[in-house]
Structure 1
Amino acid sequence: MKLLNDFRLIILLCLTLGLAPFFPEPHIWGKIKWIAGGANGMQLKDWFDVVLHGLPWVLLVRLIIVTLTKK
């Protein structure tokens, strides 16, 4: 449980796995735009990519909410 509450680890995950590959645009950004455009042609592997690259960002938002509501 300590790993899920470590800001340094979560930020590192966001900057590496969350944004990789970086060029020509972050992978998760391309997937978000694809979903926003209707997700036409997305296959199971594309949805898995969204989960894989989006999980660090979900963990970061969760950690921020937990930290702010703890006070």
Structure 2
Amino acid sequence: MTKLRAILDRIDLFPIIFACALLGLAPFVPEPHIWEKLTMLVSGTLVKPIDIFDFFFHGLPWLVLALKLGLGTRKTD
């Protein structure tokens, strides 16, 4: 966990938020792509390999942001 924390500490927050806004939400019309993939996941229709890859590709910035914010709030001794 300390290696992950060290990697995340080297990344500024702004590029992660920028990636979430662009890559995580693109294409914006008719709905954000990650939202479409999340609804497919919940409904059980996320089965095609391209859709699964697309879900991870568009979800990766959100995962990095969640890890950075989640690990950044803990104090290290």
Please classify the TM superposition score into its range, dividing by the shorter chain length: 0.7 to 0.9
Instruction: Give the alignment's Cα RMSD to 1 decimal.
Output: 1.4
Equivalent residue for 1:57, pick from 30, 43, 62: 62
Distance across 2 between alignment mates of 1:70 and 1:64? 12
- Larger gyration radius, structure 1 or structure 2: 2
Deviating 4+ runs (over 3 angstroms): none
List runs of 5+ in structure 1 lacking aligned partners: none
Q: Number of residue pairs matched?
A: 68
Task: Tell me the equivalent position of 1:66.
Answer: 71
- Normalising by structure 1, we get a TM-score of 0.88
User: Is 2:44 aligned against 1:38?
Assistant: yes
Distance across 1 between alignment mates of 2:58 and 2:75? 27
Task: Tell me the equivalent position of 1:48.
Answer: 53
Letter paired with 1:37: S
Task: Tell me the equivalent position of 1:17.
Answer: 23
- Normalising by structure 2, we get a TM-score of 0.81
State the shift of 1:64 in Å: 0.3
